[in-house]
């Protein structure tokens, strides 16, 4: 018998394939070409989670036009009113949390606890943006001339194009969309082609929450045929991109073709956990496990490098491997699973390539992670952790390039200064965690390492939405996501009012005519 979820949907509807649609100007639509693509469960690729429109530039153009047409009325509403609609949306996420979490796990493979965390992070982002509707935004400042009042006001920029990845299929689209919406912009989302059904779920809730037609638009499809025309569209004012460095730099170049267009890119990382000689191993070992293997190493804040002081590296290694051997790998819907599958075949190939390179580069392999292909693993993209020890050498591929998989190096170092030197030897600079009891040492790391997100006695994962999320070097172009995006999607405009009966100029400028 079909059971009902809290949202009133039949359980059978939740587990059967769902049909995602584009939402353009308030109407649910197929792609102009009529083509569709499948989204499959990475734990069992024979299970089709749903299908989605394979859109092209015609659909993108219609969505951008709809967003542009909706902008004048939406931007004229008060921040408070827009925040109230976001609050409606937050209530719907609360209602559907469990169904959404299970969908995240089925569509991107993350274990159910991580599916729930993704949905909770989404809820937090919507709550944060809704609250912004009632917080003081902008500034009132004094002028040189007492009779003048000067203000800095935040104005929405217009149409915001959002391009989001599959690894946080609920949270990251909302990092991008909710600061844009509360500040008065309209949006077009092109979600990852790996997780269209999660994005469809979000849009069905947003439509139910009462966003007016054209304010929120979604166009499903592939990067080249739907993402590229969206980035290039002349009526797009802002592009918010979260994804790989390789794609992000193309997006940056494409968006730069138009002077008015602003782009914020959030890209990869080759992050690290630094374990110093005085570290508490009861913190360092679990912090290493969480940093390396949550989401099967597929977070941009994953640590592929464990930089450990030589004085305790052997003890650390022994305890770390003992925990690695206890990791349960499998279908994430099982509550006891710690590591789900990789997202697709390309992810497995990348993992195996990085492992082979590490061997070539002289790694001492401690756990030889390969693909799991038998029994329960036969139809999914499952792999085992790859763990190796390696003495540091500059310009080593496996120590510098992001693997986006459970590929982990233990690198012995001598002291905090060398730890930071090794940490900085990559073109990325996203997340850094250090384990130490000594405030002088963490202060040294704080001031000399390149990162956007720094942690002490914690893993390198687990940022909260009311902080800016972003990195330096090739990890981003300096415009962080989540809280940080308000700066990207609004203009800070200066506005000055004269209350005198005559004109008095700043800088002593004469008004004599
Ligand atoms: C990502 O790594 O791709 O900080 C996003 C975290 C999460 C977001 C990660 N809040 O781990």
**Which of 119, 116, 131 lies closest to 86 in space, CA to CA?**
131
Is residue 328 packed enough to be buried (19+ CB in 10 Å), middle (13-18) or exposed (0-12)? exposed
Give the residue, by CA position, lying nearest to ligand 1 atom 6: 462
Q: What is the DSSP letter of 407?
A: E
Share of the chain above pLDDT 90, in %: 94
Here the CATH number for the domain that contains residue 435 is 3.40.309.10
- Same domain for 444 and 487, yes or no, is no
- Same domain for 145 and 207, yes or no, is yes
Here the CATH number for the domain that contains residue 201 is 3.40.605.10
- Same domain for 202 and 238, yes or no, is yes
- Which ligand 1 atom is nearest residue 299's CA? 2
Q: Is residue 132 in some structural domain?
A: no
d(CA 121, CA 281): 29
Of the residues 175, 265, 299, which should be mutated to test ligand 1's pocket, given the most ligand atoms within 8 Å of the CB?
299
d(CA 213, CA 173): 19
d(CA 99, CA 101): 6
- Same domain for 304 and 233, yes or no, is no
Q: Are the C-beta atoms of 176 and 481 separated by less than 8 Å?
A: yes
- Same domain for 375 and 480, yes or no, is no
Share of the chain above pLDDT 70, in %: 97
Question: Residues with Cβ < 8 Å from 13, sequence gap 6 or more?
Answer: none
d(CA 264, CA 477): 6
d(CA 441, CA 121): 32
**Chain segment 97-153, per-residue pLDDT in tens:** 999 999 999 999 999 999 999 999 999 999 999 999 999 888 999 999 999 999 999
| Boundaries of domain holding 186 | 21-36+137-267+476-494
The pair of structure tokens assigned to 277 is 């000689």
**Chain segment 275-334, per-residue pLDDT in tens:** 999 999 999 999 999 999 999 999 999 999 999 999 999 999 999 999 999 999 999 999
**Which of 438, 450, 436, 458 lies closest to 276 in space, CA to CA?**
436
Of the residues 245, 454, 462, 467, which should be mutated to test ligand 1's pocket, given the most ligand atoms within 8 Å of the CB?
462
Active-site residue 266, yes or no? yes
Cα of 157 to ligand 1 centre, how many Å? 27
Q: Is residue 369 in some structural domain?
A: yes
Q: Is residue 512 in some structural domain?
A: no
**Chain segment 446-502, per-residue pLDDT in tens:** 999 999 999 999 999 999 999 999 999 999 998 999 989 999 999 999 999 999 999
- Same domain for 321 and 211, yes or no, is no
Confidence of residue 260 (pLDDT cuts 50, 70, 90): confident
**Chain segment 182-239, per-residue pLDDT in tens:** 999 999 999 999 999 999 999 999 999 999 999 999 999 999 999 999 999 999 999 9
**Which of 446, 460, 415 lies closest to 278 in space, CA to CA?**
415
Q: Please tell me which residue in 300, 398, 401, 402 is annotated as part of the active site.
A: 300
- Same domain for 166 and 275, yes or no, is no
Cα of 113 to ligand 1 centre, how many Å? 14
Cα of 188 to ligand 1 centre, how many Å? 22
The residue behind tokens 């054209």 is 214
Count of H-run helices and E-run strands, the chain: 15, 26
**Chain segment 58-107, per-residue pLDDT in tens:** 999 999 999 999 999 999 999 999 999 999 999 999 999 999 999 999 99
d(CA 184, CA 491): 11
Bridging pattern class, strands 407-413 and 386-389: parallel
Cα of 463 to ligand 1 centre, how many Å? 6
d(CA 325, CA 367): 9
With 90 as the cut, is the pLDDT of residue 177 above it?
Answer: yes
- Same domain for 370 and 277, yes or no, is yes
pTM over 0.85: yes
- Which ligand 1 atom is nearest residue 294's CA? 11
Pocket (CB within 6 angstroms of ligand 1)? 121, 167-168, 299-301, 461-463
- Same domain for 351 and 426, yes or no, is yes
Question: In degrees, to the nearest 5, what angle opens at C-alpha 288 toward C-alphas 286 and 291?
Answer: 110
The pair of structure tokens assigned to 19 is 């049909």
- Which ligand 1 atom is nearest residue 302's CA? 2
In three-state secondary structure terms, 178 is helix
Neighbours of 74 (CB within 10 A): 22
The pair of structure tokens assigned to 501 is 């009966």
- Same domain for 147 and 244, yes or no, is yes
Q: Is residue 97 in some structural domain?
A: no
Cα of 34 to ligand 1 centre, how many Å? 35
Helices (H), 245-337: 245-255, 281-293, 313-324
Average confidence (pLDDT) over 329-352? 98
Q: Is residue 422 in some structural domain?
A: yes
- Which ligand 1 atom is nearest residue 121's CA? 10
What strand order describes the sheet that includes 303-309? 364-367, 386-389, 407-413, 303-309, 271-275, 431-435, 453-456
- Same domain for 205 and 325, yes or no, is no
**Which of 245, 235, 158, 191 lies closest to 477 in space, CA to CA?**
245
Q: Is residue 249 in some structural domain?
A: yes
Q: Please tell me which residue in 114, 266, 401, 483 is annotated as part of the active site.
A: 266
Into how many domains does the chain fold? 2
Bridging pattern class, strands 186-190 and 139-142: unpaired
Distance between start and end Cα atoms, the chain: 87
- Same domain for 437 and 489, yes or no, is no
**Chain segment 11-54, per-residue pLDDT in tens:** 434 567 899 999 999 999 999 999 999 999 999 999 999 999 99
Q: Is residue 486 in some structural domain?
A: yes
Cα of 299 to ligand 1 centre, how many Å? 6
The pair of structure tokens assigned to 63 is 């969505």
Q: At what angle do helices 281-293 and 313-324 cross, to 10 degrees?
A: 50
With 70 as the cut, is the pLDDT of residue 2 above it?
Answer: no
- CA 216 to each of CA 25, 212, 227: distance values in angstroms, whole numbers, following the listed order: 8, 8, 16
Helix (H) / strand (E) containing 54: none
Q: Is residue 129 in some structural domain?
A: no
- Which ligand 1 atom is nearest residue 463's CA? 4
With 80 as the cut, is the pLDDT of residue 5 above it?
Answer: no
């Amino acid at each position: 018998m079909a059971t009902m979820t809290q949202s009133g949907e039949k359980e059978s509807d939740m587990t059967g394939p769902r049909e995602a649609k584009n939402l353009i100007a308030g109407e649910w639509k197929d792609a102009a070409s009529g083509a569709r693509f499948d989204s499959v469960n990475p734990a069992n690729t024979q299970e089709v989670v749903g299908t989605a429109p394979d859109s092209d530039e015609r659909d993108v153009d219609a969505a951008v036009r709809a967003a542009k047409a909706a902008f004048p009325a939406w931007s004229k509403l008060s921040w408070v009113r827009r925040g109230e609609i976001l609050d409606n949306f937050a209530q719907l996420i609360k209602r559907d949390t469990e169904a959404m979490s299970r969908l995240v796990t089925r569509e991107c493979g993350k274990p159910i606890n991580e599916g729930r965390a993704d949905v909770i992070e989404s809820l937090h982002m919507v709550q944060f943006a809704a609250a912004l509707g009632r917080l003081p935004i902008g500034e009132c400042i004094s002028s040189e001339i007492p009779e003048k009042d000067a203000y800095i006001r935040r104005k929405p920029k217009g149409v915001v194009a959002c391009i989001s990845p599959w690894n946080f299929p609920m949270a990251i689209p909302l990092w991008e969309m909710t600061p844009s919406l509360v500040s008065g912009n309209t949006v077009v989302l092109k979600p990852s082609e790996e997780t269209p059904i999660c994005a469809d779920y979000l849009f069905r809730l947003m439509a139910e929450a009462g966003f007016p037609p054209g304010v929120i638009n979604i166009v499903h499809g592939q990067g080249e045929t739907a993402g590229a025309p969206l980035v290039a569209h002349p009526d797009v004012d802002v592009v918010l991109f979260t994804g790989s460095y390789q794609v992000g730099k193309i997006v940056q170049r494409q968006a730069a073709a138009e002077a008015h267009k602003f782009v914020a890119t959030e890209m990869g990382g080759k992050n690290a956990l630094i374990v110093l000689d005085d570290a508490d191993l009861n913190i360092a070992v679990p912090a290493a496990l969480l940093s390396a293997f949550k989401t099967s190493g597929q977070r941009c804040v994953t640590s592929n490098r464990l930089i450990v002081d030589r004085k305790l590296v052997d003890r650390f290694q022994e305890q770390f491997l003992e925990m690695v051997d206890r990791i349960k790998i499998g279908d994430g819907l099982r509550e006891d699973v710690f590591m789900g599958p990789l997202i697709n075949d390309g992810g497995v190939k990348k993992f195996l390539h990085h492992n082979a390179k590490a061997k070539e580069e002289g790694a001492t392999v401690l756990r030889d992670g390969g693909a799991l292909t038998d029994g329960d693993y036969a139809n999914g993209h499952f792999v085992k952790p790859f763990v190796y020890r390696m003495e540091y050498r500059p310009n080593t591929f496996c120590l510098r390039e992001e693997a986006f998989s459970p590929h982990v190096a233990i690198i012995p170092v001598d002291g905090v200064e060398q730890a930071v030197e090794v940490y900085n030897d990559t073109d990325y600079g996203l997340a850094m965690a250090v384990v130490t009891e000594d405030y002088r040492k963490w202060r040294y790391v704080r001031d000399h390492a390149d990162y956007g997100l720094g942690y002490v006695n914690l893993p390198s994962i687990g940022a909260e939405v009311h902080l800016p999320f972003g990195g330096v070097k090739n990890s981003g172009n300096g415009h962080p996501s989540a809280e940080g995006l308000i700066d990207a999607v609004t203009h800070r405009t200066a506005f000055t009012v004269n209350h005198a009966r005559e004109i008095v100029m700043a800088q002593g400028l004469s008004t004599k005519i």
